[in-house]
């Protein structure tokens, strides 16, 4: 076949299209331009802009001259961007502790000792590469259309019993994560399964009721607020609190048997180009508890050892090799098969 100029152009175009199809998905992006600008800090994050913007603006006010290029993506896409696609960012912020741990464990993070390190609990730093700056419990949110105040189940056993006794009321109106798409959802699911056998019974009941599957906490909470869902299971408490503060008709249920607590983390990728500003942001984030106005504006609860001690239901997820267990390919495939068999049941 004779290769023409047009053919070469077509091949090039197809190559670009294939590359774009494989690229990580960007959900949102915002550039906060400094004037005059002395440097640019590139951040990839799973935190919604509405939540994180007060923190970005406060950091910028303390560090004039630094422009911030803030890219939002999902937890699995953040992992893909750095681990598979060699995307260049100066900071990676995520709610998926296991994926962040894998990035650090596999050599994709730089070491640093934050200025605030002496004030941080030992469990908030891993190998001087991964730094926690919030503690956020996974909660259930319910709609006032389906639950009067104080009537929602308080334990997983009670939730299972309620769903079994009222299948028509809750069919198609229960939301949870699609753990095949959501890295945070997968983390919560695996931690639930390690903590209690009730997780699998709950997934089977939800599967029989045609549970609606989501990628993100925000989407689930919005559908509860609108009344489309009666409840959403294992959503981020910080996001739920911000919605409840601004919207009527939604209740937060902190289950009393246990609540897994996610530590939102930040790391400096090994490919970071603007390391000085990245370190400055790590210092700022790990000092979040010093800025109560930012805690209130963002709704992100800072590290608080006393709160964990006061509520025995709170179960912080700890850094360490245990977080990597369910990222093993064979174990992940086995877990996902069990999950699919439980929740993707054929309706009668």
Do residue 144 and residue 233 come from a single domain? yes
Do residue 91 and residue 154 come from a single domain? no
Do residue 85 and residue 143 come from a single domain? no
Do residue 64 and residue 128 come from a single domain? yes
Its domain, for residue 154, covers 136-261+328-343
pLDDT for 93 beyond 70:
yes
For residues 10-29, give the mean pLDDT.
56
Do residue 109 and residue 195 come from a single domain? no
What's the pLDDT band for 6 if we cut at 50, 70, 90?
very low
Tens digits of residue pLDDT in 26-72: 999 999 999 999 999 999 999 999 899 999 999 999 999 999 999 99
**16, part of any domain:** yes
**81, part of any domain:** yes
Do residue 338 and residue 203 come from a single domain? yes
Contacts of 334 by beta carbon, 8 Å cutoff, 6+ apart? none
**240, part of any domain:** yes
Do residue 245 and residue 120 come from a single domain? no
Do residue 203 and residue 241 come from a single domain? yes
Do residue 215 and residue 337 come from a single domain? yes
Residue-wise burial string across 277-313, b where 16 or more C-beta atoms lie within 10 A, e elsewhere? bbbbbbbbbbbbbebeebbebbbbbbbeeeebeeeee
pLDDT for 224 beyond 80:
yes
Do residue 185 and residue 310 come from a single domain? no
| CATH code where residue 126 lies | 3.40.190.10
**64, part of any domain:** yes
**39, part of any domain:** yes
How much is the pTM? 0.85
Do residue 44 and residue 121 come from a single domain? yes
**243, part of any domain:** yes
pLDDT given for residue 212 in this prediction? 97
**348, part of any domain:** no
What is the total count of domains within the chain?
2
Do residue 96 and residue 192 come from a single domain? no
The 3-class SS string of the chain reads CCCCHHHHHHHHHHHHHHHHHHCCCCCEEEEECCCCCCEEEEEEECCCHHHHHHHHHHHHHHCCCEEEEEEECCHHHHHHHHHCCCCCCCEEEECCHHHHHHHHHCCCECCCCCCCHHHCCHHHEECCCEEEEEEEEEEEEEECCCCCCCCCCCCHHHHHHHHHHCHHHHCCCEEEECCCCCHHHHHHHHHHHHHCCHHHHHHHHHHHCCCEEECCHHHHHHHHHHCCCCEEEEEEHHHHHHHHHHCCCEEEECCCCCEEEEEEEEECECCCCCHHHHHHHHHHHCCHHHCHHHHHHHCCCECCHHHHHHCCCEEECCCCHHHHHHHCHHHHHHHHHHHHHHHCCCCC
Tens digits of residue pLDDT in 257-277: 999 999 999 999 999 999 999
What's the pLDDT band for 247 if we cut at 50, 70, 90?
confident
């Amino acid at each position: 076949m004779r290769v023409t100029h047009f053919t070469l152009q077509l091949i090039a175009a197809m190559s670009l299209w294939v590359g774009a199809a494989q690229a990580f998905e960007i959900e949102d992006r915002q550039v906060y331009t400094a004037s005059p600008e002395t440097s640019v800090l590139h951040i990839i994050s799973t935190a919604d802009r509405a939540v994180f913007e007060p923190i970005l603006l406060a950091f910028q006010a303390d560090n004039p001259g630094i422009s911030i290029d803030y890219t939002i993506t999902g937890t699995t896409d953040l992992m893909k961007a750095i681990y598979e696609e060699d995307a260049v960012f100066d900071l990676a912020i995520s709610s998926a502790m296991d994926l962040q741990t894998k990035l650090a464990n596999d050599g994709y993070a730089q070491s640093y000792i934050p200025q605030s390190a002496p004030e941080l609990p030992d469990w908030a730093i891993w190998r001087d590469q991964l730094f926690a700056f919030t503690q956020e419990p996974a909660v259930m949110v319910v709609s006032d259309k389906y639950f009067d105040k104080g009537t929602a189940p308080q334990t997983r056993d009670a939730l299972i019993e309620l769903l079994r006794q009222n299948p028509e009321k809750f069919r198609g109106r229960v939301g949870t994560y699609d753990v095949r798409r959501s890295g945070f959802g997968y983390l919560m699911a695996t931690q639930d399964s390690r903590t209690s056998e009730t997780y699998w019974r709950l997934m089977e009941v939800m599967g029989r009721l045609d549970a609606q599957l989501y990628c993100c906490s925000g989407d689930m909470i919005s559908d509860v607020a609108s009344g489309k869902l009666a409840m959403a299971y294992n959503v981020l408490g910080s996001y739920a609190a911000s919605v409840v503060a601004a919207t009527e008709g939604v209740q937060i249920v902190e289950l009393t048997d246990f609540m897994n607590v996610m530590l939102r983390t930040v790391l400096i990728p090994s490919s970071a180009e603007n390391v000085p500003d990245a370190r400055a942001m790590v210092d700022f984030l790990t000092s979040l508890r010093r800025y109560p106005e930012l805690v209130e504006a963002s709704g992100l609860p800072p590290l608080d050892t006393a709160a964990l001690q006061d509520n025995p239901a709170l179960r912080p997820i700890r850094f360490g090799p245990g977080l990597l267990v369910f990222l093993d390919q064979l174990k992940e495939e086995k877990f996902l098969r069990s999950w699919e068999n439980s929740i993707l049941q054929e309706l009668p």
